[in-house]
A and B are shown apart, each in its own frame.
Chain A
């Protein structure tokens, strides 16, 4: 004797899962963007200010689920090389100046904050 089981509604279930997946992704993308903004705020808050140009150059580029936060010459009056030296000297110091890290503290704060933000985004996506 064989038992035959027919499942109905799988296509609807598949569509619902696909829809949910899209919502989760959209929520996660919003969370990534919000987290990148928070890292920018933190880094600008930590960095030493003279003219304020280095602080102003710290920007985020967000693409889907990836974000990169760093000083950018496109957001500065300095050329790329000058800004890179200024950014590194401020972060890592020089032989007679211990510097004042601003990117590492911002990254470490993000490391601690991100799991909670991601969890909330996934929950929002699942609930729809």
Chain B
């Protein structure tokens, strides 16, 4: 059985969970991996991912880190961190349903408030996800 890359199924699962949450979607204008020009703030983007092999003798597996970004022009940190809290609620220790893969764990790894030269507030929230290929 050949291995498959897990990045796209993970992105689909993350997008589905984000856009399926009414509380979060009531606070943001959208979820993107490529932001349309003139998109109003605040919004969430699915950023870069890194995948490394995490298999065993009898199965393929991967450890993936994916960074979600929150972008806001609110005067102050509240909006940014409030949306960041929703990301924690949705993903930390909340295993994803990833098509063709079993999720072993999904953990919060790091949150960083990023200085942005564009007068935009930026929060980067990184999660690690370990999966086993099952399909």
Contacts and interface: CB of A to CB of B under 8 A. Distances in A.
Contacts of B118: 94-96
Chain B, interface SS category: strand
B55 to A, nearest CB: 11
A115 to B, nearest CB: 12
Interface residues of B, number: 23
B69 A93 contact: yes
Chain A, interface SS category: helix
A88 B115 CA distance: 7
Nearest to A105: B50
A95 B48 contact: no
A84 B113 CA distance: 13
Contacts, number: 59
Contacts of B67: 92, 101, 104
Given A100-B48, A101-B50, A95 B65 contact: no
A112 B116 contact: no
B116 A94 contact: yes
Contacts of B100: none
B25 interface: no
Contacts of A96: 35, 118
Interface string A79-107: 00000110011001111101111001100
Interface in B35-75: 35, 45, 47-48, 50, 52-54, 63, 65, 67, 69, 71
